[in-house]
Chains A and B, each alone.
Chain A
């Protein structure tokens, strides 16, 4: 009689609650402070607004200046040389990949692309402070995280071509990467849907010594899902690191039209979330911030919000011409004066870890290896057309089997009207 027992249990809870209420009523007369359940606070007799004038803007944490000098030696994470060089190589390899694939789209060889220009440090710096066992949810401009974790050039290219070696079987648009082995959850186009999902994943991973990192843009932070996620993560104690890439634009919309508060970071405390604002063009600052966020998230089983300030140097996507809504001089300023890979290069130069000759050779080698992967990816066949019907469900249901058979019969008669030669046949 499970049901009757639960009735009894419920009755006990009610009695306990009632007892608690009585205690509160008793205390009411012995305290001066407000007793409203909605907030723990004090009274005031001054009638005044609380607004942006009540707080200072949240400062931007940095380790390096624009010339690659460490400002406060205590802040230098003193990373091993091979890690520092890997950071630089991954950031520049990402640049090389972006260049080749961007051009490929311009030539109509892939259908779509978006670059990561200017945001390489945000991605690689945070990725370096995480373990590959930590789960990553991205928006779409986080290719550096995958690169850091070891996703190969060939894998990137194969996804963009939707060929037989794309784990996504050619079903999604280019740059919608995902990898089970690297714990990088497959990207989807709807903005910010991944943020509450990241909170849920973090909840499921509690006590397993793993965190979830979730990336999104300043525009994505306006979605209702971002609000849902911050609030759920805080109330349900989820070890998740929310990393906002504030690059100043959502396609053509500048931040002034996106929000009126102190960026995204200022929202964190409103949800009861510990928050950090960081120079997203400073890979070492990004590393320190993410490392601290991870330690806190694991220890306290609580979320952290990181706002990485950066600038979107490239166009939004290959379907966008950003000169229509911003001055090319503004872009040039960021590309020349505060570019993340340059800043790290200066730092490496000063440490004697990298010189101009090495740089030239590496950039050429990087370009070549991208071109090679590109050629191979372009020549691979696309998956057989009937893969279109798989993975809708775990097992193909009868109604889909029927539709597949209908298409099979249709193709047997009308095959000359379809691009079957580019698709596998078996």
Chain B
């Protein structure tokens, strides 16, 4: 349950006002969205923002799998972020339905249905509210197959949750909890950077034989617009994308942060004549060590940036692994630019985020070391 939900509900019919509001948000954004232009599959494409691409993926999942169920808080009328819009009307309320307001129930119910062979796509309204379901996801979903020696599993489970900074979300509408789950063998965790990625990754997660968490950066729902393939397609879990090729510094991020890093690469080129390689990690667990090591061995300098706090953030895992595997190649200490070790604040958000200037300063430090 959330305050934002009320805002979205109130403004739902007033499309012009939403456009005005979005305009305001855009001006205050800490990043510039750059769309993916490479289509992963051939065929027809349609302009979609990220919530429409997710809606399209869910539609595809329901259409191609009779056992697929979608449920969560307020998803029946289309979801507070419109991701499930129209699906209840199209597939019936037995397959697309509201649950009581209880995250541990949503997760537990979803696991149970998946154990019986249903494809379950559960929504947690905000990643900030996934913690009541932590026990079900960490102790149950992640360990189901292992503890039963493969007798039972809930591999058909996918949990979607909007995550990340949104400009004014404060403590409980902004969190990026991926590191908590990265420490959990048995789960897969992915974070898309835009509509094309969101659709392909979500379909992969839904059809993957292991339980998956998809954290969707909510600030991209309306802003990120791309030409998304209309056809059914999947994108690999566990595979990183090189978005910008470069030779001097490797910049690693995921979700919204990759758009910040793309700007940083541009800034570094213009102001420092430094060539940056930007990697979208895409998948947090398992993560693509190969792509990262290869890039680091080439550039010899690394910056990792994420919105979540520094201490025990996933950047720490990446840094430690790079240090172990690329020790002789490194020419500067690995830099981590992240949220601070504080709760996510309201009015101080511009000072909290690992924005392009903090990342740019870290690049400067790396090349001057």
Contacts and interface: CB of A to CB of B under 8 A. Distances in A.
Contact of A199 (B112, B120, B186, B286): B112
Interface stretch (A226-234, A306-314, A319-327): A226-234
Interface in A5-36: 5-7, 9-10, 13-14
Interface residues of B, number: 61
Given A171-B147, A171-B149, A391-B145, A201 B135 contact: no
Given A1-B46, A193-B135, A201-B113, A225 B185 contact: no
Nearest to A203: B113
Contact of B150 (A9, A188, A228, A391): A391
Interface stretch (B18-26, B98-106, B260-268, B273-281): B98-106
B198 interface: no
B116 interface: yes
B169 interface: no
B286 A169 contact: no
Given A193-B140, A392-B186, A394-B209, A228 B112 contact: no
A394 B153 contact: yes
Contacts of B299: none
B132 interface: yes
Interface string A293-308: 0000000000000000
B249 interface: no
A188 B109 contact: no
A105 to B, nearest CB: 21
Interface in B78-123: 78, 85-87, 89-90, 97, 99-100, 102, 104-105, 107-118, 120
A201 B117 CA distance: 9
B112 A397 contact: no
A196 B152 contact: no
A370 interface: no
Nearest to B60: A2
B136 A232 contact: no
A200 B152 contact: no
B151 A13 contact: no
B146 A392 contact: yes
Given A186-B152, A190-B139, A200 B99 contact: no
B116 A201 contact: yes
A186 B194 CA distance: 39
B99 to A, nearest CB: 6
Contacts of A186: 144, 147-148, 151-152
Given A199-B112, A201-B113, A232 B147 contact: no
B133 to A, nearest CB: 10
B149 A168 contact: yes
Contacts of B111: 196-197, 200
A392 B286 CA distance: 12
A178 B152 contact: yes
A196 B136 contact: yes
Interface in A199-222: 199-205
A397 B87 CA distance: 34
Interface in B143-201: 143-153, 155, 185-186, 188
B48 A198 contact: no
Interface stretch (B28-36, B51-59, B308-316, B342-350): B51-59
Contact of B120 (A168, A188, A200): A200
Question: When A and B form their complex, which 7 residue pairs have the shortest distance between CB atoms, in order from nearest?
Answer: A6-B86, A200-B112, A196-B108, A228-B105, A197-B112, A186-B148, A200-B109
28 contacts: A3-B46, A6-B90, A7-B86, A9-B89, A10-B85, A10-B89, A167-B151, A168-B151, A176-B147, A179-B151, A180-B151, A185-B152, A186-B144, A197-B109, A197-B140, A199-B108, A200-B114, A201-B113, A202-B112, A203-B112, A204-B118, A224-B132, A225-B135, A228-B104, A228-B105, A232-B109, A397-B286, A398-B286
Interface of B: 13, 46, 48, 52, 55-56, 59, 67, 69, 77-78, 85-87, 89-90, 97, 99-100, 102, 104-105, 107-118, 120, 132, 135-136, 139-140, 143-153, 155, 185-186, 188, 209-210, 230, 238, 286, 289
